[in-house]
Amino acid sequence: MNKTYAALLLVLVFGFGIHAEERNPQVVRAKHGVVVGVSQPGSEAGLKMLQRGGNSVDAAVATALAMAVTVPEAGNIGGGGFMMILPGPGKPPVCIEYRETAPAAATENMFPLNHTRFGHRVVGVPGTLRGLELAHKKYGKLPWKQLVVPAVQLARDGFEIDAFTAKSLNKVLAGSATKRFAEFQRVFGKEDKKPWAKGDRLIQPDLAKTFQLIADQGADAFYRGRIAGWIAEEMQAGGGLITKQDLANYEAKLRRPIKTSYRGYDVFGAALPSSGGTTMGLMLNMLENFELRKQNRWSPATAHIMIEVMRRAYLDRARHLGDADFVKIPEQLYSKQYAQQLAKSIDLNKETRSEYLARDIPLADESPSTTHFSVADSSGMAVSNTYTLEFSYGSRVVVRGAGFLLNNEMGDFNWKRGHTDRKGRIGTKANLIQPGKRMLSSQTPTLVTKDGKFYMATGSPGGRTIINTALGVVLNRLEFGMSLKDAVAAPRLHHQWFPDVARFEDVEEAKFAPLVQQIKARGHQLNDKAYIQGDAHSIGVDEKTGRLIGVADDRRSGFAAGY
């Protein structure tokens, strides 16, 4: 065995529906580089690029493309996302923003509230390949084609699916929402019509053909070439709005990340239209006004303060946030002083009703399709990437003959001006549909530095719970001093303004029963048996040895690879 493979350490973690007390995320420690994500073949594809002399961005691109094959419910070239990059020690992080856009023919009132979230009409203009291309052009080292080859091979030769993917495919194929999509059934159904099982091989020849074009011609094949033609034909056949011109006009953007400081660390989040960076920064700025460590992580006071902070930050998210190229964002949201004012409004003994806080917003009467991965290498470069199709398996539209799924991201806009209700629908102006506009996102890929050097990367899928999942992992490390493994494993708490219910991850009852009782005693409505979607695949630095630590969250499949 040569030295490279002798040094290779791979850890595979599977976790299905276990209680938080039983969670045991696996840890990999490595000197040269680490890739942590939801897919074994995806993480291995990224690791190979590091071993071949590539950097974290090369590994991230290869991982993202491989996961478009191996994680069909979320990995994608038909969606969009955000990539946070720390180029190296002392260099400022950047955000590659590749969120989808509304087609040119989109209108504010194109969807009634009860419109289906599946089909051609809800597809936004995809951004993934332009985003990966931009990251590679600015920071990559290896040739583009080399980064695409693993995806070609995985689609052409197939891969063995894990138990989670088998269960997910069986569920979506049997669902009533998918029955009418013949191409979806053809591409993802088994030839013998039997259910998928762990160890079955999923082969995707049409997708292999698509990726070969991308390998040979770059992202232009998707936005200006043959693939663009296939997408436009699919849209026209199904009543969608995206045209060849929409695809040709799409641009990924290099944006300045949202930066805040917390307890001597610098925390960087994705820029708008990701609401994650702004919302988490606002919450950290509020939390800095309380001495949480003295009260300990699982005290009722800590939980109460966190719920109230989440409630206020998510209200400002609903009130103000959208595509900053279309709407003006109040500067106060990034101010320590404003956060201090919000913190002072918290009653330490009882809850504040969400309805009371939002008197300026009229109230009407009464999915994890995202995936996150982290990469870091020995040069000090790190990547935190989150991308999505919106719902699991997106719009359920597979481009005929091309083998890839399209997103249903138009559902992330506010569909009806003025319709904000207690169930969580939002109708504020900032995120209404406009042609070319990017819909608001909850994606929260996060980088933490200390003295200008990489300290941690994290993020998660999970819809609006994403921001609070990332907040919890960051807070567990920076405020409470947990190990990265324990920070990822810890039970999660979520509140999003409306619905006015706090959610506490399904936990071991005896240990947390007193905490649950005291949270309720302060007036909070609490679901303490909640399933909070998300898998926070994270990387940190061992401060004693300087080695990289990768933690694969075991809330679903997870794979940490390092050498």
Contacts of 517 (CB under 8 A, 6+ apart): none
Question: What are the beta bridge partners of residue 384?
Answer: 84, 374
Q: Which residues are catalytic?
A: 370
Closest by CA to 460, choosing from 37, 20, 164, 128, is: 37
Neighbours of 174 (CB within 10 A): 10
Q: How far apart are CA 31 and CA 50, in angstroms?
A: 12
Q: How far apart are CA 323 and CA 99, in angstroms?
A: 10
User: What sign results for the dihedral spanned by CA atoms 11, 268, 302, 358?
Assistant: negative
Contacts of 88 (CB under 8 A, 6+ apart): 379, 380, 381
Contact 477, 536 (CB under 8 A): no
Contacts of 537 (CB under 8 A, 6+ apart): 36, 37, 38, 372, 373, 374, 458, 459, 550, 551, 552, 553, 558, 560
Terminal-residue alpha carbon distance, the chain: 14
DSSP secondary structure of 206-219:
HHHHHHHHHHHHTT
Biggest alpha carbon–alpha carbon distance for the chain? 68
